[in-house]
């Protein structure tokens, strides 16, 4: 039985650990927090996941909340006009539904499932000096510790990292009691509201500790009016401030949310980080090597809601590489190849996400506005959230986009 250590009990670490157990590997996960602490802690993400990523979970029966989480059947785009009305407003249908299960619910539950299935869990915030000796005791050490301090082991890859500073200031609340979006009261959809020059407001239907909820999520351009969280307001004040900003910039969403209330006392989050791609292999003073995964190696801005999807795809890709390796050593060459294989999956998502952080170019505005009366265009755009590789075939390139639009829209 090959002995594998995983540091970090998030989407990537737990999914990989649970799948490896299924294949008979001896897996230890080191988690900074116990399941109780995770459930009682702060929300961490908005974690909207689409079909391909969800299917990786289903393949290993990890979809424990599928029956209770709202089914995200579509994705809507609205663009605010100067006067508070909408210059544009449409919803496109996903081929297969997406879902968002509060990571507090999912990671706590998966951690317990991992223990029940015979995995070893050690509750400990791992340090670099811990890792230095631990590499000797395991055949493979995966670092799946998200954006925590251990990323320092992995140097930034400047060729793949166009940004040095945070491109958005993030602010999230989980709430109960919102009205349905009036355009589609019988259907759940992620809503993507753009306020040019100011930022974006996402709304994600999710499942939290106390049941189904809605998750409004501001992405503010630094220095603009949505960049107002550095005083870390208490949860009540945080939600009040978000509501006030909705009233001002996206009044149609304010109408839905004005009577909503926070789901719990830990239901708010604010912050920001610079998007980055890192070198995948961390070398320790003792000569041991560790392989980074998911957010540790590729952390994109959440503007396209891809991080959890990528974490799931990374877990699936690394799993294949580990299984194919059989009994051969997990050396640094293998680690680099393993990462490059995942990079071929995550590169399109990274390129698209980095592009979406810029003001939309003319051809993108053209796509969005023609989509309003053309369901085929809408459908292609929203299904790109599941498979971002398709954006390279049309959306990201003005010429390809024009050719496509001529084909489907005259």
Ligand X SMILES: Cc1cc2nc3c(=O)[nH]c(=O)nc-3n(C[C@H](O)[C@H](O)[C@H](O)COP(=O)(O)OP(=O)(O)OC[C@H]3O[C@@H](n4cnc5c(N)ncnc54)[C@H](O)[C@@H]3O)c2cc1C
- Picked from ligand X, another protein, none, the partner binding residue 122 (CB below 5 to 8 A depending on kind) is another protein
- Picked from another protein, ligand X, none, the partner binding residue 72 (CB below 5 to 8 A depending on kind) is none
- Asked whether 46 and 302 are in contact (CB, 8 A), the reply is yes
Q: Tell me whether residue 314 or residue 401 sits nearer to ligand X (CB atom).
A: 314
Three-point CA angle 122, 127, 131, nearest 5°: 80
Residue 248: which H helix or E strand, with range? helix 235-249
- Asked whether 408 and 374 are in contact (CB, 8 A), the reply is yes
- Picked from ligand X, another protein, none, the partner binding residue 360 (CB below 5 to 8 A depending on kind) is none
- Own/partner pairs for 322-328, CB < 8 Å, 24+ apart? 322/4, 322/20, 322/25, 322/140, 323/23, 327/2
What is the distance between the alpha carbons of residues 409 and 393, in angstroms, rounded to a whole number? Answer: 17
Q: Tell me whether residue 167 or residue 309 sits nearer to ligand X (CB atom).
A: 309
What is the distance between the alpha carbons of residues 108 and 114, in angstroms, rounded to a whole number? Answer: 10
Q: Tell me whether residue 250 or residue 405 sits nearer to ligand X (CB atom).
A: 250
- Look at residue 402 and give its three-state secondary structure: helix
Q: What are phi and psi of 407, to 5 degrees?
A: -60, -45
Total residues at interface with ligand X (CB under 6 A) = 37
Q: Is 49 in the site for ligand X (CB under 6 A)?
A: yes
State in angstroms the smallest separation of the CB of 253 from another protein: 26
Task: Identify residues 348-387 at the interface with ligand X (CB under 6 A).
Answer: none
- Picked from another protein, ligand X, none, the partner binding residue 79 (CB below 5 to 8 A depending on kind) is none
State in angstroms the smallest separation of the CB of 245 from ligand X: 16
What is the distance between the alpha carbons of residues 346 and 295, in angstroms, rounded to a whole number? Answer: 11
Q: Is 134 in the site for ligand X (CB under 6 A)?
A: no
Q: Is 35 in the site for ligand X (CB under 6 A)?
A: no
Q: Tell me whether residue 138 or residue 252 sits nearer to another protein (CB atom).
A: 138
Q: Where do contacts with another protein occur on this chain (CB under 8 A)?
A: 5, 28, 30, 35, 39, 64-65, 68, 105, 108-109, 112, 115-116, 118-127, 129-130, 132-134, 136-137, 209-211
Per the listing, tokens 């019988």 go with: 186
Closest CA to 19 of 314, 398, 232: 314
Q: Measure Cα distances from 239 to 192, 203, 268 in Å.
A: 19, 14, 8
Which pair of tokens denotes residue 319?
């799993």
Q: Contacting ligand X (CB under 6 A), which of 5, 8, 252, 384?
A: 8
Single out the segment in contact with ligand X by CB under 6 A; choices: 247-255, 306-314, 352-360, 373-381. 306-314
Q: Tell me whether residue 11 or residue 374 sits nearer to ligand X (CB atom).
A: 11
Q: Contacting ligand X (CB under 6 A), which of 214, 295, 381, 384?
A: 295
What is the distance between the alpha carbons of residues 154 and 280, in angstroms, rounded to a whole number? Answer: 6
Q: Tell me whether residue 224 or residue 251 sits nearer to ligand X (CB atom).
A: 224
Interface residues with ligand X (CB under 6 A) are 7-13, 30-33, 45-49, 125-126, 144-146, 148, 150, 170, 172, 204, 217, 269, 294-295, 302, 305-309, 311
């Amino acid at each position: 039985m090959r002995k594998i250590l995983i540091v970090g009990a998030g989407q990537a670490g737990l999914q990989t650990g649970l799948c490896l157990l299924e294949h008979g590997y001896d897996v230890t996960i080191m988690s900074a927090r116990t399941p109780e602490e995770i459930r009682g802690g702060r929300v961490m993400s908005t974690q909207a996941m689409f079909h391909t990523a969800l299917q990786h979970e289903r393949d290993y029966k990890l979809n424990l909340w599928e029956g209770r989480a709202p089914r995200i059947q579509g994705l809507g785009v609205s663009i605010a006009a100067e006067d508070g009305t909408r210059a544009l407003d449409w919803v496109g249908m996903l081929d297969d539904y997406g879902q968002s299960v509060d990571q507090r619910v999912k990671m706590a539950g998966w951690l317990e499932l991992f223990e029940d299935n015979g995995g070893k869990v050690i509750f400990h915030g791992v340090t670099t000096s811990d890792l230095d000796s631990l590499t000797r005791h395991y055949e493979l050490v995966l670092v799946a510790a998200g954006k925590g301090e251990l990323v320092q082991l992995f140097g930034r890859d400047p060729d793949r990292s166009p940004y040095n500073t945070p491109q958005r200031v993030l602010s999230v609340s989980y709430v109960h009691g919102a009205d349905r979006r009036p355009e589609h009261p019988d259907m759940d959809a992620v809503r993507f509201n753009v306020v040019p020059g100011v930022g974006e407001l996402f709304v994600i239907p999710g499942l939290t500790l106390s049941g189904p909820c809605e998750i409004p999520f501001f992405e503010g351009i630094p220095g603009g009016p949505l960049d107002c969280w550095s005083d870390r307001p208490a949860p009540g004040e945080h939600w009040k401030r978000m509501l006030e900003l909705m009233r001002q910039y996206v009044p149609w969403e304010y109408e839905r949310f004005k009577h909503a209330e926070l789901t719990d006392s830990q239901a708010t989050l604010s912050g920001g980080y610079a998007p980055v791609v890192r070198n995948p292999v961390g070398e320790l003073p003792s000569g041991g090597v560790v392989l980074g995964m998911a957010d540790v190696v590729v952390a994109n801005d959440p503007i396209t809601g891809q991080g959890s999807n990528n974490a799931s795809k990374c877990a699936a890709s690394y799993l294949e590489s580990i299984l194919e390796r059989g009994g051969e050593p997990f050396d640094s060459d293998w680690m680099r190849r393993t990462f490059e294989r995942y990079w071929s999956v995550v590169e399109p998502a990274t390129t698209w996400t980095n592009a979406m952080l810029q003001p939309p170019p003319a051809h993108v505005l053209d796509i969005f506005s023609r989509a309003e009366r053309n369901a085929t265009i809408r459908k292609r755009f929203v299904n790109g959230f599941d498979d971002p590789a398709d954006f390279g075939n049309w959306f990201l390139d003005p010429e390809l986009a024009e050719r496509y639009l001529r084909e489907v829209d005259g």
